[in-house]
Amino acid sequence: METLTIRGGRPLRGRLAVQGSKNAVLPILAATAAFPGRFALSNCPPIRDLAVTRALLEGLGLDTEEREGVLYVESGGPVGTAPDPALSGRLRSSVLLLGALLARRGEAEIPLPGGCVLGERPLDLHLRGLEALGVRVRCEGDRLLCLGRPAGGTVLLPYPSVGATENLILAALGAAGPVRILGAAKEPEIRDLAGFLRACGAELRGAGSSCVRVTPRPLHGAAYRILPDRMEAATWLCAAAATGGELCLTELRPAQLRPVLQVLRRAGCELRETENELRLRGRALRAPGPVVTGPYPAFPTDAQAPLMAALLRAAGSTVIEETVFSDRFRQVPGLRAFGADIELAGRLARIRGVDRLRGAEAAATDLRGAAALVIAALAAEGESRITEAWHLDRGYGRFAERLRSLGAEAEAEENQI
Ligand code: UD1
């Protein structure tokens, strides 16, 4: 999808089943390369990041096939050690293949676009953790080489990085002895990876806490159902809140959305939840008080941009502090085109509620930022055009169609080549 045209001002109304989690399925797919097996994954979201990951796995020698909504992966044949550089560069989660291939082959090589970042952000935590397990990490030109079967031992993560925790869990599957990861990230997607690995026979304890223990043992294939996507759910909730709509989300786990629900309640939304269903009724919104993003169970950074967009017309002013990523306010110039009043100061953003938003043209810069622009467009009067809308395809399946199913006037234009 190149451009998304939206005629705003209509409250979103209806019922929607939440898709499978992007951030759960990508590490689980990486895990299928770590040991031989046949896997059947259900509830996979129809998103571009998954298609790119499949292509990466196929390039390494795995077979993948989708039949009747189930993704089958077969990893019993020979598996390469160097994922395709062009595809890897399109996906940050391709770094998880390092851990998987080290477990499987004791060797892995990934490209380093933009030169060597060894020992620095953004992969320092992954690489130092692997080194703590005895893996040799070397930078050669624009490639990163990791060599050696991981040893057992304890790794201490100074920051609970989601990707580093997942990479270390994957590397530990092929380690010579038990591995303990201290300071691990606690995100539900890590628990889902652990659930998948346990279904494959892994001895893995503590996922979801800051101490994860993996005892290597022979693993096998399995069937597994991917967790619902709490970030997709947060996006739809913010969209319904921004338009004063009424939404019933099904097939989700509201407990994993607690900090988002708390903020929406403070902003005046009425929310009712059961174990796997959530109803939101939008009202005139008010500023909910300060919001600070952080590692789980704090407010998720992935929901920050959609929430900001939902609060553009909320009475009063809201300060959002982004503590996880340093460049996660990239949606702000686009939101200002709709008439939003947002002041930025480093990691802080102050949103002052305005009475009305007007339709505008704005270019998406990233996945969640793109969702924020859509939410502003839905709440704005008149027509809006979101360009670079392909960012949405990375993480939201059938986005325009799902918007329309909730009563939005939204038209997607594909790239004309
Ligand atoms: C994952 C999610 C992403 C989410 C993020 C935080 C996937 C595919 N992506 O990304 O949607 O926004 O968690 O919840 O699951 N950092 C370092 N050095 C490292 C690794 C990370 O400094 O070696 C920094 C990052 O630059 C960032 C912070 O740590 O500032 C958090 O990153 P991390 O938790 O690793 O996020 P990802 O796993 O990349």
Is 386 among the domain residues? yes
* CATH number of 189's domain: 3.65.10.10
Buried b (16+ CB within 10 A) or exposed e, 75-102: beeebbbbbbeebbebbebbbbbbbbbb
End residue of a domain, out of 191, 217, 243:
217
d(CA 235, CA 392): 11
How many angstroms separate the alpha carbon of residue 161 from the centre of ligand 1? 5
Can you read off the two tokens belonging to residue 391?
């960012």
Is 286 among the domain residues? yes
Residues 294 and 165 in one domain: no
What DSSP designation does 121 have? T
CB 14 within 8 A of CB 405: yes
User: What's the pTM?
Assistant: 0.96
Is 303 among the domain residues? yes
Ligand 1 site-directed mutation target among 22, 97, 127, 324, most atoms within 8 Å of CB: 324
Pocket around ligand 1: residues whose beta carbon is below 6 Å from it?
23, 26, 92-93, 121-126, 159, 161-164, 185, 189, 301-302, 324-325
Domain count within the chain: 2
Q: Which residue's alpha carbon is nearest to atom 33 within ligand 1?
A: 161
How many angstroms separate the alpha carbon of residue 306 from the centre of ligand 1? 18
Bond into 78 cis (ω within 30)? no
**Which residues 6+ apart lie within 8 Å of 414 measured at CB?**
1, 2
Residues 162 and 300 in one domain: no
Instruction: Give pLDDT, residue 113.
Output: 56
Q: Which residue's alpha carbon is nearest to atom 37 within ligand 1?
A: 163
Residues noted as catalytic: 116
Is 106 among the domain residues? yes
d(CA 377, CA 358): 8
d(CA 357, CA 1): 24
From the alpha carbon of 161, which atom of ligand 1 is closest? Answer: 34
Please state at what angle helix 188-199 crosses helix 22-31, rounded to 10 degrees. 40
H or E element at residue 129: helix 124-132
Instruction: Give pLDDT, residue 125.
Output: 94
Residues 259 and 288 in one domain: yes
d(CA 185, CA 211): 9
Instruction: Give pLDDT, residue 413.
Output: 92
Instruction: Give pLDDT, residue 121.
Output: 55
Residues 192 and 311 in one domain: no
Q: Could you list the pLDDT tens digit for every one of the 417 residues in the chain?
A: 999 999 999 999 999 999 999 999 999 999 999 999 999 999 999 999 999 999 999 999 999 999 998 999 999 999 999 999 999 988 888 999 999 999 999 999 998 754 444 444 589 999 999 999 999 999 888 889 999 999 999 999 999 999 999 999 999 999 999 999 999 999 999 999 999 999 999 999 999 999 999 999 999 999 999 999 999 999 999 999 999 999 999 999 999 999 999 999 999 999 999 888 999 999 899 999 999 999 999 999 999 999 999 999 999 999 999 999 988 999 999 999 999 999 999 999 999 999 999 999 999 999 999 999 999 999 999 999 999 999 999 999 999 999 999 999 999 998 755
Residues 175 and 236 in one domain: no
H or E element at residue 154: strand 153-156
Domain that residue 321 falls in:
3-19+228-413
